[in-house]
């Protein structure tokens, strides 16, 4: 990105650091997928489907993997920060559609982060006995989001290093649940037969599973965030496919094992009460385990979700600004920290609003999944359209039937026939209305400055920047 100074000289904006190797990328992906969803929504999924709580997570995993193949083709073909918005723009060439897709993805990250922030405050209250009021939880959530913004501004290297620590913490929590479950089962505790029991409606088990899958899908999202870090990854065309698929498999196995442990030790009707389902599992399987420790782990697990999603949201805003789809000021990179500081401030302000005025995990989690399923449908279609666009370097190619199946399955899970809570459509509608308003502002700014939205360029492919 370049600007012209007052004396007519060209000023080149600093580029992003390429600091993420294979292991950091793997931990980024695993840490992004794990977190708020599995820690907070296991009980809600059990409430809808019964003892087969593991099945919706498995179905969501399959849908996510199919869509991940489409992302792999596109991110290795166009390894830039804008992700789904870039793919949409190259496929359709309509700036309004590009903006709406970018805004939907950004909102999904911010709604997820805001939910995690409130969950962080609630778990802090539970783990340390503070007994925060609703207002207190909001204030703590806002303070936490401000800290996330500070870490994000400090630099992606620092943010990703923090992610390594937090990912290890949240993995530890889930491994505790799995170990407690296996230990209790081997000792004859719990009821393993529950894992085959359905909560049927009118004798049918299919629709409850589908309805639960729309909620469980929130626990599988996160892999798409990694493509927005393409400009900060070493050799993305080579390492993305194996690392992304490895991350999905790791998290999928963990989710199924956690679900089986949970439902074996705690009946679904009890698991679905409250917002700390896994704490109940540990309490049932290991009564002598210090529960405050697990509450502390849960608190930092959701903190990791907030950090990574805000990283994604700010980088997405930065990437779209570089393509002149958002105002140029949002693409400014700090001269010292080399981070998109205006984009970080913008996304943090939006998160403040959501933390203060919008609902909890089920509403925002379901809305996050709804928005991303819409985006995933578009991305799967983009793969097919962009087959005609040839690039000079080699890249991953997904089988055509998988891209078609991905588009159909994601579109199906968006519909009201799945039993999705209507409130989620309302929240999504309001967010998209805000997006349309921002699009109008963007057009006016561009006209005032004489800037026209540009087609995506690929000059950064194969380039390497400084490494921390």
Q: Which tokens hold the place of 317?
A: 């805003």
For residue range 248-281, what is the model confidence (pLDDT) as tens digits? 999 999 999 999 999 999 998 888 876 678 888 8
pLDDT score at 177? 92
For the chain, helix, strand, coil in percent to 5 are: 75, 5, 25
Q: Which of 3-12, 243-252, 283-292 has the lowest mean pLDDT?
A: 3-12
CA neighbours closer than 13 Å in the CB half-sphere of residue 154: 13
Give yes or no for a contact between 224 and 10, defined as CB atoms under 8 angstroms apart. Answer: no
Q: What is the DSSP string of 306-329?
A: HHHHHHHHHHHHHHHHHTTSS-GG
Residue 465 above 50 pLDDT?
A: no
Which residue has better confidence, 302 or 383?
A: 383
Residue 206 above 50 pLDDT?
A: yes
Residue 234 DSSP one-character state: S
Q: Which of 98-112, 159-173, 240-254 has the lowest mean pLDDT?
A: 159-173
H or E element in which residue 290 lies: none
Dihedral sign from CA coordinates of 333, 335, 346, 313: positive
Most confidently modeled range among 72-81, 243-252, 329-338, 458-467: 243-252
What residue spans define the domains of the chain? 16-449
Q: CA 33 to CA 117: how far, in whole Å?
A: 16
Give yes or no for a contact between 111 and 312, defined as CB atoms under 8 angstroms apart. Answer: no
- Find the mean pLDDT for residues 383-402: 88
C-alpha gyration radius of the chain:
22
Q: How confident is the model at residue 203 (pLDDT cuts 50, 70, 90)?
A: low
- Give the class (CATH, top level) of 16-449: mainly alpha
Residue 13 above 60 pLDDT?
A: no
pLDDT score at 26? 83
Contact residues for 191 (Cβ-Cβ < 8 A; gap 6+): 264, 267
- Find the mean pLDDT for residues 90-117: 85
Q: Is the pTM of this model over 0.85?
A: no
Q: How confident is the model at residue 460 (pLDDT cuts 50, 70, 90)?
A: very low
pLDDT score at 18? 58
CA nearest neighbour of 382 among 456, 459, 462 = 456
Residue 2 above 60 pLDDT?
A: no
- Find the mean pLDDT for residues 108-131: 80
Q: How confident is the model at residue 462 (pLDDT cuts 50, 70, 90)?
A: very low
CA nearest neighbour of 78 among 59, 91, 66, 96 = 91
β-bridge pairing 10-12 and 2-4: antiparallel
Q: How confident is the model at residue 464 (pLDDT cuts 50, 70, 90)?
A: very low
Q: How confident is the model at residue 201 (pLDDT cuts 50, 70, 90)?
A: low
Q: What is the DSSP string of 347-404?
A: HHHHHHHHHHHS--HHHHHHHHHHHHHHHHHHHHHHHHHGGG---SS------HHHHH
Instruction: Report the percent of the chain where pLDDT is more than 70.
Output: 84
pLDDT score at 332? 86
pLDDT score at 1? 44
Q: CA 326 to CA 188: how far, in whole Å?
A: 59
Which residue has better confidence, 449 or 70?
A: 70
Q: Which tokens hold the place of 230?
A: 């393409």
Which residue has better confidence, 467 or 82?
A: 82
Q: CA 210 to CA 56: how far, in whole Å?
A: 7
Q: Which tokens hold the place of 269?
A: 């009707």
Specify which residues 2 forms β-bridges with: 12
Q: How confident is the model at residue 160 (pLDDT cuts 50, 70, 90)?
A: low
Residue 463 above 90 pLDDT?
A: no
Q: Is 221 helix (H, G, I), strand (E, B) or coil?
A: coil
For residue range 415-441, what is the model confidence (pLDDT) as tens digits? 998 888 888 898 888 888 877 887 787
pLDDT score at 80? 67
Q: How confident is the model at residue 457 (pLDDT cuts 50, 70, 90)?
A: very low
Using alpha carbons, list the distances in angstroms from residue 246 to 130, 162, 395, 400.
Answer: 39, 21, 18, 22
- Find the mean pLDDT for residues 205-220: 87
For residue range 23-49, what is the model confidence (pLDDT) as tens digits? 877 877 887 787 777 887 888 888 889
């Amino acid at each position: 990105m370049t600007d012209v100074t007052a004396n007519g000289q060209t000023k080149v904006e600093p580029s992003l650091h390429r600091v993420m190797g294979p292991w950091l990328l793997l931990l980024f992906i695993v840490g992004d997928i794990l977190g708020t969803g599995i820690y907070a929504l296991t009980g809600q999924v059990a409430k809808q489907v019964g003892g087969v709580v593991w099945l919706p997570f498995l179905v969501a995993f399959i849908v996510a993997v199919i869509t991940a193949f489409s992302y792999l083709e596109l991110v290795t073909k166009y390894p830039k920060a804008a992700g789904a918005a870039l793919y949409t723009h190259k496929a359709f060439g309509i700036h309004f559609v590009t903006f709406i897709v970018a805004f939907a993805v950004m909102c999904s990250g911010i709604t997820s982060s805001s939910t995690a922030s409130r969950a962080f405050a609630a778990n802090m209250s539970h783990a340390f006995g503070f007994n925060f009021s609703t207002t207190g939880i909001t204030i703590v959530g806002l303070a936490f989001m401000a800290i996330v913004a500070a870490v994000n501004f400090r630099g992606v290297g620092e943010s990703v290093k923090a992610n390594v620590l937090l990912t290890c913490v949240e993995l530890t929590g889930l491994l505790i649940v799995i170990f407690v479950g296996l230990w209790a089962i081997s000792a004859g505790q719990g009821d393993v037969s529950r894992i085959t029991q359905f909560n049927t409606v009118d004798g049918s088990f299919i629709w409850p599973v589908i309805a639960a899958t729309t909620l469980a899908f929130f626990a599988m999202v996160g892999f798409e965030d990694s493509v927005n870090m393409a400009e900060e990854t070493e050799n993305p065309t080579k390492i993305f496919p194996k690392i992304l698929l490895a991350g999905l498999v790791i998290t999928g196995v963990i989710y199924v094992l956690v679900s089986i442990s949970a439902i074996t030790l705690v009946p679904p009707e009890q698991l679905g009460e409250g917002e700390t389902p896994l704490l109940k599992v540990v309490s049932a399987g290991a009564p002598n385990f210090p529960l405050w420790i697990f509450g502390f782990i849960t608190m930092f697990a959701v903190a990791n979700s907030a950090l990574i999603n805000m990283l994604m949201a700010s980088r997405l805003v930065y990437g779209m600004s570089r393509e002149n789809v958002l105002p140029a000021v949002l693409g400014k990179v700090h001269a010292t920290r080399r981070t998109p500081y205006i984009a970080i401030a913008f996304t943090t302000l939006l998160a403040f609003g959501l933390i203060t005025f919008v609902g909890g995990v089920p509403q925002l989690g379901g809305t996050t999944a709804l928005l991303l399923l819409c985006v995933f449908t578009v991305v799967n279609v983009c793969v097919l359209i962009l087959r005609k666009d040839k690039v000079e370097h080699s890249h991953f190619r997904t089988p055509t039937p998988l891209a078609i199946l991905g588009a159909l399955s994601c579109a199906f899970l968006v519909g009201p026939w799945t039993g999705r809570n209507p409130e989620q459509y309302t929240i999504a509608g309001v967010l998209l209305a805000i997006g349309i308003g921002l699009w109008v502002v963007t057009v006016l700014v561009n006209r005032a400055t004489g800037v026209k939205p540009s087609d995506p360029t690929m000059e950064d492919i194969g380039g390497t920047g400084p490494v921390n």
